[in-house]
Chain A
Amino acid sequence: MTKSPPPNYTDEQQLIVALIAGDDRAFCEIITRFQNTMMAIARAICGDTFADDVVQDAWVAIHKNIGKFEQRSSLKTWVMTIVSNEAKARLRRESRKVSLDELDGETPGSYLDNAQFTQTGHRTAATQTWHIESPEQLLEEKQLQRCINKTLSILPPAQKAAFLLRDIEQQSFDEICEILQVSAANVRVLIHRARLTLMQVIDRYQETGTC
């Protein structure tokens, strides 16, 4: 592999041209950008056991077919759709049923836990005050960053995939429904629960300075 300074692919068109031309550095660039989200999608659809294989199969398909990429969608959407299709196909082949079980019930202690509300739906306790509310200040907190990344790594698979696709990859709700094959209502629930879990990390950090 060439070791000259890597080009800066800030422009998607430039990246696509390099990919179609068979540039290895461009391909490494998309692996760097998309691998973790692809793993999250595969885990959400067909579970941990097959996720590695599925993502590798998807990369082989992408590498083989990148020359035929017609740009009818963004590169990101095309890549995410390929891994989603690989995962769904694998699921069918293995004849397994993986339910998005994190859609069932509420996690005890979460913000949506029934214990947080009276029978009439009022809060049983006041919402905690944050002493750091400025986004700039929060971004400076290295320990908080570690706590957030640690929590992200242990989110239930479908929540993690939906959250990454929406809040990190900025995919539309329709695209997320298509990629994860869940209803719009369920996508919204998954994203909301992921955000609330991450908000709870900030809550705890504000109170204790730790995860």
Chain B
Amino acid sequence: MVGRPLDESELIRRAQRGDTHAYEELVHAYQGIAFRTAYVVARNAADAEEAAQDGFVKAWRALGRFREGAPFRPWLLRIVANEASNRRRSAGRRAGLVLRAAAEEPSGDAAPSPEAALLTAERRATLLAAVEELPEEQRDVVALRYFLGLSETEVAETLAIPPGTVKSRTARALERLRESYD
């Protein structure tokens, strides 16, 4: 997860006044999560890269309408996810999410996190396959909520859906995963 700079609101205020240096800092802070959000939605690296770039440009143009004090990350990710979603609808190769090679064959260079230790390589692969089988709208919610670590509220804002819909899609997705995975 990307950490927020302490002076984010000041950076936003400056960017709203046309300060591109301030905006550059915001771009650097959020480019990782923006790209990954675009990727889990578009499932194509080139499309995700374009969606992130276009999202940052559009966010710059829309900064005047950004409400002071509102959380910046979901506001930005909503623009990026919309760009990615538009690209997903177009023709093109779509890739599935993949596990890191190191995760399949632990090298011993680094100790696994307590959470990672919960999963054997086989269970990871099975769970990922089950996630990939979910309907698109449930898969997006699961990917943003659990893989990218967004809160329920942020997922709702990012996908432009009500929080209640995030809850219901999450519940349905977990139910399906339990059925196919346990």
Q: Does A associate with B in a complex?
A: no
Residues of A bordering B, CB below 8 Å: none
Residues of B bordering A, CB below 8 Å: none
